[in-house]
Amino acid sequence: MIKHLIILCLIALSFQIEHCQIYNTVCKSCAANFELVELNYDLLSDLVAYCFNSEKLSEANDIIPNCVSISEDKQSCEECRKYYFWDSNQKECINIPHCSLYDHNCILCESEYALKDDGSCVKNFYCDRIENGTCVECIFYYYPNDEGECVRIPKSHCLVGNTENCTFCENYYYPNSNGECEKIPLLNCVNLDLEDPTKCSLCEENYYVDKEGKCQKHTIDNCIEYESKNKCKNCRYYYQLNEDGNCQLIPGNCSTLDKEGKCKACNKYYYLDDGQCKKITIDNCAYLNGNNTKCIYCDSGYELSEDGTQCTKACEGFDDICFYCSPNYYPFNNGTSCHIIDPDLSPDESNSKDQYTYIGLIFFIIIALFLLFYFNKNCLN
């Protein structure tokens, strides 16, 4: 029922643009004797295409070119076409491509376009971040100049900087006191330590940083941090440190090994059976009990049965939206899933979370009914 109600609401919303026949996010087609016209972006709405009476549209355009809605005295334009803006001094709709907000001059450009001093909008291919129509951050090797344009940094091997200083260099280089990129003097060093530039922070592959900040050749396979020359401190992913200070491969789906190198704990969705990790056969079950006979924890959004043999969906809804959660569950992550209520909560806290489900559902139905009534009423009028 709720799904049908929402569909009706969406249909009703499609009629909020008068004389629109085909609507998909924006109006795509107008009724007979009406023309679809794109307007400049409205900061308060995503609707930028409207239906205008063809006869009135033609009259407005004949008097003031590119005008779609003319004033009663026919001396000024109330609304110009997209990328056109009414200039009260020139008494015409002037063209400013890719401008989205105008007040005597263009003050804001569309995304990916930068506002120049002359009021025009230009595509900024090397810009990484634009604020208020001006590029404030460029990609590597470029910097924003006073006009908000990204230009090449005139310094060799410089990734971040400007005409005077380089603050971040390519690998194997560092910014010196003169603001230039200089070759790192330490052998096999990729990047220097920012706090202590006399030491290396990252070495080439198969090398590690020792306690003195120098790069040494790996002597232990899959070790990423050394305690001493022949003893590892931390291993790569999927490897575990053994008592000898070496890195031992963790078997598939095993999370932890014991001192003898046997698996003693498995990853999620697997259980330990005679030293091996096997797939849990109960759908949507994350972990089994110690005897491997019952499920003790289901996936998020699933409810565990009393006998521990099933995980059923705790959410009722559609399109990944939960309108109702099972008892002892509450809506989570903007209503996209149901999470179990913490058993340590007090009864009052538990009840309040359970009530949120019903309150959210009732609120949604009220809003949906209001929208359906309001827009259908307008359509009939």
Q: Note whether residue 40 is domain-resident.
A: yes
- Residue type present at position 221: D
Share of the chain above pLDDT 70, in %: 75
For residue 52, give its domain range: 18-95
Q: Note whether residue 80 is domain-resident.
A: yes
Query: pTM (2 decimals)?
Result: 0.41
Q: Note whether residue 201 is domain-resident.
A: no
The CA distance from 52 to 68, in Å, is 8
Q: Higher pLDDT residue, 327 or 118? A: 118
Name 295's bridge partners. 288
Q: Note whether residue 220 is domain-resident.
A: no
pLDDT in tens, 239-262: 888 888 888 888 888 888 887 778
Name 271's bridge partners. 278
The CA distance from 74 to 86, in Å, is 13
pLDDT in tens, 53-109: 888 888 888 999 989 888 888 899 988 888 889 988 889 999 988 888 888 888 888
User: What total of structural domains would you count in the chain?
Assistant: 1
Q: Note whether residue 148 is domain-resident.
A: no
Cα 233 from chain centroid (whole Å): 36
Q: Note whether residue 5 is domain-resident.
A: no
The CA distance from 188 to 204, in Å, is 6
Q: Note whether residue 41 is domain-resident.
A: yes
Q: Note whether residue 227 is domain-resident.
A: no
